[in-house]
């Protein structure tokens, strides 16, 4: 793997703990982003908050790839669950990433010529190994039974679009993409990584079941800080393993 790894989140809380972990850290303001630079166990890391939506995610990814020569991009954040085998706080490893509200045949007319995107297999394997080590159970093999609250993960499909999915849109998204969760950035990150020949990994924790408004989600008991702590430890352990 390349010696520089880019770590991106949509929200500040999703990456702030990465900043705190870096040695020789410096912060710069550039390209509309606050970028933290430093090292983690000898690996050069650049990290930033992209903001929500595909344009913000794509712009941040391209900037870190172009400006810092990052060869690996890891994006971590929350998503709405679509697969009934997944519960709040479970994690989807984005083996496949598909756009919503997009004519993908037209997208595929440009480099890299793809209608759907993927996390890099070696990074998917590394993420699965880290999650297993942290006590996560494979939801595809051992779906939750009543009273079983063990955390679960799934190597699955992530749907990406520029709207918060709730209500009747939920069934439409499932029919269109067969996705396990829905969010607003992952496919764009994987798209730009593929366009630049970079390795990519997208991780999502389930924060809701696409059955409530964004405002309601923000007021509910799901603690983004709790997820951020777990996500940061997972991401950094992946960085350690692929260095």
Mean pLDDT by 10 residues, the chain (243 residues): 83 85 95 96 95 96 97 93 89 96 93 97 97 95 82 96 84 91 96 98 87 62 65 89 85
Q: What b/e sequence results for 72-103 when a residue is b if at least 16 CB atoms lie within 10 Å of its CB, and e otherwise?
A: bbbbbbbbbbbbeebbebbbbbbbbbbbbeee
Render 178-213 in DSSP notation, one character per residue.
--SEEESSHHHHHHHHHHHT-EEEEEEEEEE-S-S-
What pLDDT score was predicted for residue 38?
Answer: 96
pLDDT attached to residue 168: 79
pLDDT in tens, 177-208: 999 999 999 999 999 999 999 999 999 988 88
Residue 2 pLDDT: 46
The residue to which tokens 């992530």 are assigned: 158
Burial of 146 (0-12, 13-18, 19+ CB in 10 A): exposed
What does the pLDDT read at residue 212?
A: 63
pLDDT the model gives residue 224: 62
What are the boundaries of each domain within the chain?
4-242
CATH homologous superfamily of domain 4-242? Nucleoside phosphorylase domain (3.40.50.1580)
pLDDT for the residue numbered 1: 42
Which residues sit opposite 34 in a β-bridge? 29
Q: What is the pLDDT of residue 213?
A: 63
pLDDT digits (tens, 9 = 90+) for 113-148: 999 999 999 999 999 999 999 999 999 998 877 778
């Amino acid at each position: 793997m390349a010696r520089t790894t880019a770590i991106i989140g949509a929200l500040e809380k999703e990456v702030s703990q990465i900043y705190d972990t870096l040695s020789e850290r410096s912060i710069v303001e550039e390209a509309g982003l606050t970028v933290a630079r430093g090292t983690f166990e000898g690996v050069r890391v650049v990290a930033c908050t992209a903001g929500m939506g595909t344009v913000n995610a794509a712009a941040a990814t391209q900037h870190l790839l172009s400006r810092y020569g990052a060869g690996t991009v890891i994006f971590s954040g929350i998503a709405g669950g679509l697969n009934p085998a997944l519960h709040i706080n479970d994690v989807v490893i984005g083996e496949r990433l598909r756009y919503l509200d997009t004519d993908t045949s037209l997208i595929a007319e440009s480099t890299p010529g793809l209608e759907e995107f993927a996390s890099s297999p070696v990074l998917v394997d590394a993420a699965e190994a880290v999650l297993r080590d942290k006590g996560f159970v494979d939801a595809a093999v051992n779906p939750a039974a009543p009273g079983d609250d063990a955390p679960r993960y799934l190597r699955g499909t992530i749907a990406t679009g520029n709207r918060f999915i709730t209500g009747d849109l939920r069934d439409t998204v499932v029919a269109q993409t067969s996705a396990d969760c829905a969010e607003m950035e992952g496919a764009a990150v994987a798209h730009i990584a593929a366009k630049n020949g970079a390795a990519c990994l997208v991780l999502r924790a389930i924060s809701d079941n696409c059955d409530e408004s964004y405002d309601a989600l923000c007021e509910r008991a799901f603690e983004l800080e709790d997820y951020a702590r777990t996500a940061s430890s997972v991401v950094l352990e992946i960085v350690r393993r692929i260095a």
